[in-house]
Amino acid sequence: MEVPFYTLIVASLSVIGVSGQEHCAKLYRHGFSTVRADVLFVYSGTKVDLKAAFNNAVSSIKIQPGCTLMAYKQSNYGEFMFKATSDMSELDSTDNDKISSVKCFCECTNKMQDSLCIQWKNSGFCTNAKLPFVVPNCRKACGFCVNVYERIEGKYCSAYRTKHYGTDIDAKLACDQDSECHGYFDNCGTYFLLCDGPISEKTHSCGPILYRKEA
């Protein structure tokens, strides 16, 4: 059966926003709904303090494949509630109507072969309304990442800043927003630190993971 054209348009708009950024998640005031006033789009690599109608009102969440949403009970990302990587159709009573801020980011990788993704991008498929599956499978090639980070196991940067970040998302968002930040690292499972200045890679046996921002 052929899917009507307008359905494909709607499906595609849910992937790519008017700003050209990719959607990371959709927050619903009630159940899953197509009523525009009841849906809030959250873009990849952003954090949002919920306002007015959405503050303490979110009841369902849709997450784009490969994306992660973190929910907080207080505004300004206070009191972490949960991390979601798949849809939640009805939040339970512990979380329903309790979220006041969120952070969201999508893995910045090509799930398909790099060469195929680049070919698709060059053919205009990343923005083709009839091909909504292209972006989630080719995020890096399609250019919908805020920044691309190369993951390097076992390494860290010798010069780093003192502030500790509790999660990968917090460190990435901070580094994304700072043009002087060239990367960050997972300090052997304890916390994350931003690299200071140009990265000088070092190895450590405890198993750090360096995320180097690509130029």
Q: Which residues here bind Ca ion, judged by CB under 5 A?
A: 29, 57, 59, 97
Q: How far is the CB of 65 from Ca ion (least distance, A)?
A: 25
CA distance 186 to 205: 13
Q: Give the residue closest to Ca ion by C-beta.
A: 59
State the Cα–Cα distance between residues 186 and 168, nearest whole angstrom.
8
What minimum distance in Å lies between the beta carbon of 91 and Ca ion? Answer: 8
Query: Are the C-beta atoms of 106 and 24 separated by less than 8 Å?
Result: yes
Say what the alpha-carbon torsion angle 133, 136, 141, 144 is, to the nearest 10 degrees. 120
CB of 90 to Ca ion, least distance (A): 10
Interacting residues of 123 by C-beta distance below 8 A, sequence separation 6+: none
- CA 68 from chain centre, in angstroms, equals 6
User: Of the two residues 29 and 73, which places its CB atom closer to Ca ion in the complex?
Assistant: 29
Residue with smaller CB distance to Ca ion, 58 or 134: 58
- Residue closer to Ca ion, measured from CB, 97 or 178: 97
CB nearer Ca ion, residue 59 or residue 187: 59
For the bound state, the minimum distance from the C-beta of residue 29 to Ca ion, rounded and expressed in Å, comes to 5
The type of residue at 193 is L
- Minimum CB separation of residue 87 from Ca ion in Å reads 16
Q: Minimum distance from CB of 56 to Ca ion (Å)?
A: 8
Nearer to Ca ion, 29 or 161 (CB): 29
Radius of gyration of the chain (CA): 19
Of the pair 39, 146, the CB lying nearest Ca ion is at: 39
Give the phi and the psi of residue 126 in degrees, each rounded to 5. -65, -25
Edge-to-edge strand ranges of the sheet holding 46-49: 46-49, 101-106, 67-74, 78-84
